[in-house]
Amino acid sequence: MQLSDDVFFYPSPAGLDFSKEICANTVVLKGRKLVLIDPGIKDRLSDLMERMASDGLNPVDVEYIILTHSHPDHLEAAPDLAEKFGSRLIISRIEYEFMKDSAKVFFANHQFPGPEVIFELQEEGTLTASGLELKIFLTPGHSPGSISILWPKGKLLLTGDLYFPGTIGAINLYGGNPGAMYKSVSRLRDLGGVEMVLCGHGPAIIDRDMIIQNYRALFAEIAAKKAAGVM
């Protein structure tokens, strides 16, 4: 679905019900060509291509594929997509090292990206992709090298699995870190000028008041977890 002139959002049909299917939301940003964030699982790739085409987007124009982190529900389709359209694959350097170590845990039932897949390793800072100036933030907590992406011009924040509408991401998976999660959520809360938040799972948060309310819910959950000794 098209959320603005240059922002397209393709939510997983399962939403936050991970008992049905685990596949990430996908976001496409329109610059000189297309920047695609988190293509999801391979079984959903043809569906994603159809949904993009229905919005007038040609997958051949995907110049960059940015991965918020290395879990298969976000990354599995990326190598096939990059190979087919010549897209550049970007992941954080920390997450790339984590991915190589964590493959035995997370890719048991998925295809692990082979050694022939070339990733461009991204540090925190500014990334210019297809003419779009994106701010990359390292936001560990769900995984060690997770990133969040701010597009200041579009007043858009992409959080990956750091948090969702109403709840923080999982911290009990391999590589999760409760303390880092708290610091990362706090860091994003303090960003100004954000009027739309798109998370790795769940619906879009498209109103400033809703964004503020969501942070209140997140910190209430964090406080409860701290009181319970979980964080």
Per-residue pLDDT of the chain (231 residues; tens, 9 = 90+): 999 999 999 999 876 776 677 899 999 999 999 999 999 999 999 999 999 999 999 999 999 999 999 999 999 999 999 999 999 999 999 999 998 877 677 777 776 776 678 899 999 999 999 999 999 999 999 999 999 999 999 999 999 999 999 999 999 999 999 999 999 999 999 998 999 999 999 999 999 999 999 999 999 999 999 888 877
Q: For tokens 């550049």, what's the residue?
A: 88
Cα 52 to Cα 19, 30, 128, 168, 226: the distances in Å are 26, 12, 23, 28, 41
Token code pair at residue 114: 């082979």
Q: What angle do CA 12, 15, 20 make, to 5 degrees?
A: 90
A 10 A CB-CB count for 24 gives 29
Residue 44 has what DSSP assignment? Answer: G
Q: 40-98 pLDDT, tens per residue?
A: 999 999 999 999 999 999 999 999 999 999 999 999 999 999 999 999 999 999 999 99
C-alpha torsion angle, residues 113, 132, 156, 190 (rounded to 10):
90
What are the residue boundaries of the structural domains of the chain, listed by start? Answer: 2-227
CATH of 2-227 given 2.30.29.30, 3.30.420.40, 3.60.15.10, 3.40.50.2300: 3.60.15.10
